[in-house]
Amino acid sequence: MTLFEVWAPRPERVRVEVDGSAYPMTWSADGWWRAEVVSESGARYGYLLDDDPTVLPDPRSPRQPDGVHARSALHTLDQTVWTDHGWTGRQLAGAVYYELHVGTFTPAGTFDAAIERLDHLVDLGVTVVELMPVNAFDGTHNWGYDGVLWFAVAEPYGGPDGLQRLVDACHARGLAVALDVVYNHLGPSGNYLPRFAPYLSDGRNTWGRTLNLDGPGSDAVRRFIIDNALRWLRDFHIDALRLDAVHALVDRTATHLLAELAAETERLAAHLRRPLTLIAESDLNDPTLITPRAAGGYGLTGQWNDDLHHAVHTAVSSERQGYYADFGTLGCLAHTLTHGFFHAGTYSSFRGRTHGRPLDTRVIPASALLAYTCNHDQIGNRAIGDRPSIDLTDGQLAIKAALILLSPYTPMLFMGEEWGASTPFQFFTSHTDPVIGAATATGRKAEFAEHGWDSDDVPDPQDAQTFLRSKLDWSELEDTRHARLLGCYRELLALRRARAELTDPWLTHISVDFDEDARWILVHRGEILLVCNLSAEPVTVPVAGVVLLSWDPPIEAVSGLAVPGHSFAVVSAGGVAATGRAR
Task: Determine how β-strand 580-582 pairs with β-strand 543-550.
Answer: unpaired
List, as one string, the DSSP characters of 466-515: HHHHTS--GGGGGSHHHHHHHHHHHHHHHHHHH-GGGG---GGGEEEEEE
Cα separation, 325 vs 350, in Å, equals 7
| One-letter amino acid of 581 | R
Our answer to whether residue 40 is catalytic in this structure is no
Evaluate the CA torsion angle 29, 32, 33, 35 in order and state its sign. Answer: negative
Cβ atoms of 514 and 579 within 8 Å: the answer is yes
β-strand partners of 17: 22, 46
Our answer to whether residue 219 is catalytic in this structure is no
Cα separation, 179 vs 252, in Å, equals 27
Report which secondary-structure segment, H or E, holds 522: strand 520-525
Query: Which ranges in 235-284 belong to alpha helices (H)?
Result: 257-272
Cα separation, 298 vs 307, in Å, equals 21
Q: Any idea what DSSP says for residue 56?
A: B
Evaluate the CA torsion angle 417, 290, 129, 64 in order and state its sign. Answer: negative
Q: Which of 180, 244, 260, 286 is catalytic?
A: 244
Counting beta carbons within 10 angstroms of the beta carbon of residue 243, is it exposed (0 to 12), middle (13 to 18) or buried (19 or more)?
Answer: buried
Cβ atoms of 444 and 451 within 8 Å: the answer is no
483 Rama class: left (phi>0) / alpha (psi -120 to 50) / beta: alpha
Q: Which of 281, 418, 460, 513 is catalytic?
A: 281
Closest CA to 529 of 577, 580, 487: 577
Half-sphere exposure of 2 toward its Cβ, with a 13 Å CA cutoff? Answer: 19
Cβ atoms of 385 and 459 within 8 Å: the answer is yes
Please provide the distance, in angstroms rounded to a whole number, between the alpha carbons at the two ends of the chain: 65
Cα separation, 256 vs 234, in Å, equals 22
Cα separation, 401 vs 183, in Å, equals 31
Cα separation, 552 vs 549, in Å, equals 9
| One-letter amino acid of 347 | Y
Q: Any idea what DSSP says for residue 222?
A: H
β-strand partners of 530: 523, 570
Q: Which residues, other chains included, contact 453 with Cβ-Cβ below 8 Å and sequence gap of 6+?
A: 383
How far is C-alpha 488 from the chain's CA centre?
24
Residues tagged active-site:
244, 281
